[in-house]
Amino acid sequence: MASILVVAWIFSLLSVPVRCADPVLDVPACNSQVNADWAFNSRGQSPCQVAGYLGSVCTDNMFQINSITTTEEYILDLQLANNCTCSTVYYNTLSACAICQGGGHSRWDTWAKNCSTAVFLVYPFPIPNGTAVPQWAFQSSANSSFDPALAQQVGDKPESSAPPAASAPAATSPSTTSGSNGKSKAGAIAGGVVGGLAFVTIATILIFLLFRHRRRKGAAPKERQALDDDTAITTPTPFMVNDSVHSLPPMRVYNPSDPNTFPPTHGLMASDRTRSPDTQISALSPMSHYRSISDSTTGHYSGAAEI
């Protein structure tokens, strides 16, 4: 939870508008012998200072304007040509800066010859904090050159400056508004982070359960197959009794004229001599029919043929 609050705090800091500090300027002062009061803005800044503010937007908040003599004028070098210096608003303020020093000013077409893109009558970026651009800086003369007389006629007002901060309305306390905005932004970011983490956690759990279900489903047929194989191996083979092993040839009826029907003279097998008569008869059940006939005869057969 602490890490979530830290992330939310960082995002809230990034969402707050950043107000840059005043730029570091190195600009010349106007010559007190030259009447250039018309060129100053309502803040008492000279046209050289206003031109420095406008040029600093494209140079990392630092800008330098060299001073000139009465026989010199400003020319835009190729390495200094950018979206700030190639606008007519910057050109007009720098031309007024040259005039207030007692020097001359170049024509617009001479100034913009090194510009890849020229911007007319507007400044392409928000006006930086700390300055106000006079209304005459947004004008253009018919001969494409800065006209001091037209600038004095147009005058300073209305000026253009940086828009007021949205978090500081006049009717409310800035600290209260800023705090409530910060809390709402931090809460929204924290809610988004928590929602994202919850979504990732739920998705991970669902993927894990699906993977485990598929793995169990795939393992079940293998277990059944192994069980079927074991059953097939361990199933006993039915025992088949061969009746031919225990069957005896059919007995013939005693015929005194046929020697083949005579009983054997050696009696029973040796292994059967130790048995009792009843046991011998039950063990040789197929012979019982023969013995019942021989026992029913009235005489005793001695082994010789009878007539």
pLDDT in tens, 284-296: 444 434 344 344 4
- pLDDT, average across residues 242-270: 60
Q: What gap in Å lies between CA 175 and CA 9, rounded to an integer?
A: 18
174-208: pLDDT as tens digits? 443 334 344 444 555 656 666 777 777 888 888 88
Residue 146: count of CB within 10 angstroms of its CB: 26
Query: Which carries the bigger pLDDT value, residue 223 or residue 277?
Result: 223
What distance in Å separates the CA atoms of residue 45 and residue 23, rounded to the nearest whole number? 14
Q: Identify which of 39, 154, 41, 181 has the alpha carbon closest to the alpha carbon of residue 102.
A: 39
One-letter amino acid for residue 154 of the chain: V
- Whether the CB-CB separation of 147 and 111 falls below 8 Å is answered with no
The CA distance from 64 to 287, in Å, is 142
Break the chain into its structural domains and give their ranges: 8-161, 253-291
Name the helix (H) or strand (E) containing 197: helix 174-234
Amino acid occupying residue 210:
L
pLDDT for 156:
83
Report the predicted TM-score, pTM, of the whole model to 2 decimal places.
0.49
Percent of the chain at pLDDT exceeding 90 = 39
Using DSSP, state whether 160 is helix, strand or coil.
strand
